[in-house]
Amino acid sequence: MLHVLFEPFFHYGFMRRALVACFALSLSTTPLGGFLLLRRMSLVGDALSHAILPGVATGYLLSGMSLISMGIGGFIAGVIVAVLSSWASSITQLKEDASFAGFYLGSLALGVTLVSLHGSSLDLLHLLFGSILAVDADAIHFIGAIASITFVSLALMYRALIIEAFDADFLRVNSSGFPRLIQTLFLALVVLNLVAGFQMLGTLMSVGLMMLPSVAARCWTISLPKMLVLATVISMFCSWCGLLWSFYTSLPSGPTIVLSASLVFFFSILLGPSGGIALLLRRRRRRY
């Protein structure tokens, strides 16, 4: 059994690089997913993961498979969509989720059109679904830098993010404009991590490793620190399992990682003591 679990990572460099990149991404993106869940913005992460596609496609068309160019393009596109969505919801009757939906769908269509006009179907599949087993040393350094920036930023904004999530009115009264600044910086971190994830999981699935472990962890604990730690552990575990699943079955690595996280999510929904069906059954027994 140990041979099956560890042998691919000992003998193949591309498997080790993929695992290191997944672990770094888990440390970076999963806490952001926890705060998105806390702020009831889970689908915003999905919207932003689609919104970066035009920028990634533009960087690809200008510089080829340059990670830096595609990363910068994706970050700019994601920030533009986030800013425009917030602006539209502030000056119209639209809710923020509705404005995000409108902008991200247009952004996704634009990105697919750009790649279709000037690239091939293989290029489109690579951008949409990633290629985690092709991660090289430069990509690992890129992901590691983003993970470090995210970790430090979350440490500095931790208390403000919690207060803003539970009592935004308190921040508005005591610090004019501060909640908007916190939200802008937080969304910028989300976009930055989605840009880091697209190289491995693609623009369509990079949000999976961000949200699924956090939602699963929420079913097991109501403590935010414990939830963030547990979500990170779940993300790493699913990365390991997904890579092994892909190695032994020749299935695409990105989808198997996200599918592993989905299986943990369904398991947590069924048996989680703090938010799953088991909790609902216990409450009904107490009533009767």
A 10 A CB-CB count for 41 gives 20
What is the model's pTM?
0.85
Residue 229: the pLDDT is 93
Q: Digits of tens for pLDDT over the chain (288 positions)?
A: 677 778 888 888 888 888 998 899 899 999 999 998 888 777 777 778 878 888 888 887 787 777 778 888 888 888 888 888 877 777 777 776 677 778 878 888 888 788 777 666 656 666 666 677 777 788 888 888 889 999 899 988 888 888 777 766 666 655 655 667 788 888 889 888 888 887 777 767 788 888 999 999 988 888 889 999 999 999 999 999 999 998 889 888 888 999 999 999 999 888 877 766 666 666 666 665
Domain boundaries, the chain: 2-204
- DSSP code for 222: S
Q: Which of 224, 237, 223, 222 has its CA nearest to residue 267?
A: 237
Pick one of 1.10.1060.10, 1.10.3470.10, 1.25.40.10, 2.40.160.60 as the CATH number of 2-204. 1.10.3470.10
Q: What span, in angstroms and rounded, lies between the C-alpha atoms of 6 and 66?
A: 32
Residue 49: the pLDDT is 80
Backbone angles phi, psi at 200, to 5 degrees: -95, -50
DSSP line for 71-124: HHHHHHHHHHHHHHHHHHHHHSS--HHHHHHHHHHHHHHHHHHHHHHHS-HHHH
Give the pair of three-digit tokens for residue 106: 């247009």
